[in-house]
Structure 1
Amino acid sequence: MLTAKEFINEHKMEYTSVDVKNEMDAYIDEMKKGLCGEKSSLLMIPSYITLKSEVQREKPVICVDAGGTNLRIAVAEFLEDGSFHTEKIQRYLMPGVEKELEAEEFFDILAGYILPFTEIAKDIVISFAYPARILPDIDCEIVEITKEVKVKNAVGKRLGKEICASLAKQGAKGCNIIVVNDSVATALAGKAEKLNDGYGSFTGTILGTGSNSCYIEYVRNIAKLAGGGEGVMVINTEAGSYSRVPRSDIDLAYDESTQNPGLGVFEKMTSGGYIGPLCDFTLRTAAREGVFANGFSLAKTVSTVDVNDFLTDGSGAVGKYFTEAADRDAAREILLNIVLRAGRFLALQMAAVAVKAAKENERVCMTIEGTTYEKMFGLKKEALTVLLPYLDSIGIKADVISVEHAVLKGCAIAGLSR
């Protein structure tokens, strides 16, 4: 009978084998290729948000967080002392959640929600959490409306242009809209939170259902942008697609079992949308190889919540299945190894953007958001235990923070730092 440790080692899944130092050159190389427009698993998407050294003070901007289900709108500004101030935040359901809408109706409803705020400001920044192609004028072309929102005939429409037109129809003329990805907004949130703290650069990471990181890059390094130029720009790495990470035979087999094999390779080893199913796949493989005396044939697929419950206190669907102490201990060892490995991969992702970021000094503020990062047993601790000593060893002094209302604050920086 195979032990859990033997199983992990035979399949080359041992979490301690993931070494950020050894993996860094490959990750940075992939980032550079993406910036040059060469074939790369990291798309390195320019946001066209170029940051000035000074954020405009005492100037209000409308910030819109168009999320997967909810919509939040606020008027924000930075006061003369650099502190961040918002008027009352309004929350709504995203149009299209309750019923399917035509595109024009979708834009009109969004504009109607924004309209009352235009009495205070005409500059609007929208964080759009859906597939879209960011354009050089910092508008976006909608690729797809996904998640719980149902909108017909929106593909190919320019979000900012359409909402501006709807606002004008409703009496608010002269509005200016820019659009950012939600992970870009998160990258900028730390700058909003720590405006006066002397950081040399800022990065942002999301680890929830999916995984991504953004950072600030020198424009001169973005070779795929015609003309180049000086200054800095926020880059959306699309980190969930990174493919040069070491994968076991189980990772490869699990990837082949998913709806889109070969896509989102890194995300399938780290994010909340995949950790549960990967753990399920691994437990069933271990059962076939004789690790558990009583096998593993749970009728449902193990979820990420199930994994967290079991690792936290032995409860949930996995805890109810494994009643024998030996099988229970083996399952815990296998699942904890997968989660801690995800923590180390997260450390690699975050370390790479800190290393590559345009820096005025050695201090980097790293904002991270997401329920998987905050709630998954052991993951956050492992990531920080690996990340911070590594960065310190190469001369980068990093602070990892979470920011309340991160997306709204990032929108404000995007609108007031151009």
Structure 2
Amino acid sequence: MNAKVSAFLSKHNFVQHIDIDTFSQALLSDMRKGINGEKSDEDMIRTWTNPPEAKVKNQKVIVIDAGGTNFRSCLVTFDANGVPSISNLEKTSMPGIEKELSFKEFFDKFAENLEHLKNQADSIGFCFSYPTEIQKDGDGILLGFSKEVKAPEVVGKPIGKSLADALVEHGWNRPKRVSLLNDTVAALLAGAASGAQGIEYSSYIGFILGTGMNAAYIQPAIPGSKDFGSSQIVVCESGKFCSVIQSDFDKEVDSKTTKPGTFFMEKGCSGAYLGPLSYSALTMASKEGLLSPKVAEKILALDKLTLIEASAYLEHPYDTNYVLAKILAECGTEEDYDFIFQTLDAIVERSARYSATILAACVIQSGAGTIPTKPVCILCNGSTYHKTYKIYERVKGYLEELLTRQKGLYWDIIAVENDITLGAAIGGLIER
């Protein structure tokens, strides 16, 4: 990194090269406080369940995936061999994104979105990717919305029961069960069901880095614990971890969110915020005279900068189909190209370090992965993880260094087609 970029980032308190080992220990400390019932940033939500031991066969289940920008719903059918098929898939926008909704409006909108699946199965696997306290019967109490969803009357309410009530009002038979699970749990269950031939995993982790960010792992039994007398999947709500250093860019973006002063980890590395963070950094640099005058003028004239645009510049800095490359092609200098590249690269690189920190903490807390032939299976999902410039490669490199070389822990990152849908379907059929 050149001195000019380094000085700019330092001036604004942006710490790029986070020590992943030290940071993971801080994260582990917070996780363990939550597990022990002490005050912690992360919720450490109990799910009262584990991956099923046998394959799901000869069953149908309605699947809902609501937790980011989109609302997806479909029917999943498992045949006699446990092979799943997906049908009646529809996608629309997530209720509460565009405007604030009341409790009734929120669930009425859900029922409208599900009309094409009316009474096609008596069980629903509901991937609801917001902080939710899972109940022993599989329902969940919403603790609070993230990702800029606006439906405050829903907070504190049972999501499964409320949805079932709304469906009955819309002419449905009452579902036998509505099982709530986080997208990280769905990812974990999909990883556990993948059954890679010739591999035996010692534990499973689900990780999401998309619009938001979160992780789930299997907490081993804790002798003498009322809640953890046996192992179970735990949702960390990692995005709520706040013991992170906020730069001026982070603070500016945070101040404009629906819930400022919360979700510092998520706001530092997930897809909903990396674009605004990039925009904040480049506009500050423009105002401080660190870019040539014409480039600065054009950047300041932009209303926003998306993650897609920022990542595209890093991938293809001379592709003028994207806004930054177009600006630079018109009036930029080589110094401008370099400054913008290194600034944006620092932002996505920090996201990779945060992600690796979370995964490292989950592997360590699982107590698994100590035998090379029985690694921990990590299923990673999310467009930010898979599509943003070098995040995927960097996460794997950081885990290799910290977990395998330094700590002798073994892991394997996998991908499964339609993972969230498959995991949610399995979750919807688990007997409680």
TM-score normalised to structure 1 length: 0.83
Mean CA deviation greater in 131-140 or 395-404: 131-140
Q: Classify the secondary structure of the residue corresponding to 2:26.
A: helix
The equivalent of 1:311 in structure 2 is: 314
The equivalent of 2:387 in structure 1 is: 375
Seen in structure 2, the aligned counterparts of structure 1 residues 150 and 6 have a Cα distance that, compared at 3 Å, is closer
Seen in structure 2, the aligned counterparts of structure 1 residues 337 and 95 have a Cα distance that, compared at 3 Å, is closer
Matching residue within 244, 248, 251 for 1:250: 248
Q: Distance in 1 between matches of 2:224 and 2:208?
A: 23
Q: Distance in 1 between matches of 2:145 and 2:165?
A: 20
Seen in structure 2, the aligned counterparts of structure 1 residues 84 and 133 have a Cα distance that, compared at 3 Å, is same
The equivalent of 2:413 in structure 1 is: 400
Shift of 1:320: 3.1
Q: Distance in 2 between matches of 1:174 and 1:219?
A: 32
Per-residue deviation, residues 310-363 of structure 1 (Å, max 9, x unmatched): 212124222233312212211111111221121111111111112212538641
Q: Distance in 1 between matches of 2:270 and 2:15?
A: 18
Aligned-pair identity in percent equals 26
Shift of 1:364: 0.9
**1:160-309 equivalent positions in 2, closer than 5 A:** 160-164=160-164, 170=171, 172=173, 175-194=176-195, 197-220=199-222, 227-245=226-244, 247=245, 249-251=247-249, 253-254=251-252, 257-259=255-257, 260-294=259-293, 296-297=296-297, 298-300=300-302, 301-309=304-312
The equivalent of 2:339 in structure 1 is: 330
Per-residue deviation, residues 29-80 of structure 1 (Å, max 9, x unmatched): 011011122221111112232445x125424141412325333222343755
Q: Distance in 2 between matches of 1:173 and 1:257?
A: 43
Q: Classify the secondary structure of the residue corresponding to 2:380.
A: strand
Mean CA deviation greater in 150-159 or 54-63: 150-159
Q: Distance in 2 between matches of 1:109 and 1:256?
A: 33
Seen in structure 2, the aligned counterparts of structure 1 residues 155 and 44 have a Cα distance that, compared at 3 Å, is closer
Shift of 1:22: 2.3
Q: Distance in 2 between matches of 1:415 and 1:312?
A: 39
The equivalent of 2:30 in structure 1 is: 30
Q: Distance in 1 between matches of 2:178 and 2:51?
A: 17
Mean CA deviation greater in 22-31 or 311-320: 311-320
Runs of 5+ consecutive residues of structure 2 not aligned to the other structure? none
The answer on whether the counterparts of 1:61 and 1:125 sit within 8 Å (CA) in structure 2 is no
Q: Distance in 2 between matches of 1:278 and 1:218?
A: 37
Q: Distance in 2 between matches of 1:134 and 1:155?
A: 14
Q: Distance in 2 between matches of 1:65 and 1:171?
A: 16
Seen in structure 2, the aligned counterparts of structure 1 residues 145 and 288 have a Cα distance that, compared at 3 Å, is closer
Amino acid at match of 1:32: R
The answer on whether the counterparts of 1:255 and 1:265 sit within 8 Å (CA) in structure 2 is no
Shift of 1:265: 0.6
Seen in structure 2, the aligned counterparts of structure 1 residues 166 and 35 have a Cα distance that, compared at 3 Å, is same
Q: Distance in 2 between matches of 1:4 and 1:94?
A: 39
Shift of 1:288: 4.3
Q: Distance in 1 between matches of 2:92 and 2:12?
A: 45
Q: Distance in 2 between matches of 1:168 and 1:286?
A: 55
Q: Classify the secondary structure of the residue corresponding to 2:385.
A: helix
Amino acid at match of 1:321: I
Seen in structure 2, the aligned counterparts of structure 1 residues 148 and 79 have a Cα distance that, compared at 3 Å, is farther
Q: Classify the secondary structure of the residue corresponding to 1:117.
A: coil
TM-score normalised to structure 2 length: 0.81
The answer on whether the counterparts of 1:302 and 1:318 sit within 8 Å (CA) in structure 2 is no
Seen in structure 2, the aligned counterparts of structure 1 residues 330 and 149 have a Cα distance that, compared at 3 Å, is closer
Seen in structure 2, the aligned counterparts of structure 1 residues 277 and 163 have a Cα distance that, compared at 3 Å, is closer
Amino acid at match of 2:410: K
Seen in structure 2, the aligned counterparts of structure 1 residues 292 and 365 have a Cα distance that, compared at 3 Å, is same
Seen in structure 2, the aligned counterparts of structure 1 residues 91 and 29 have a Cα distance that, compared at 3 Å, is same
Q: Distance in 2 between matches of 1:164 and 1:248?
A: 41
Shift of 1:413: 3.2
Aligned residues: 407
**CA RMSD for the aligned pairs?**
3.5
Q: Distance in 2 between matches of 1:171 and 1:333?
A: 55
Mean CA deviation greater in 207-216 or 175-184: 175-184
Runs of 5+ consecutive residues of structure 1 not aligned to the other structure? none
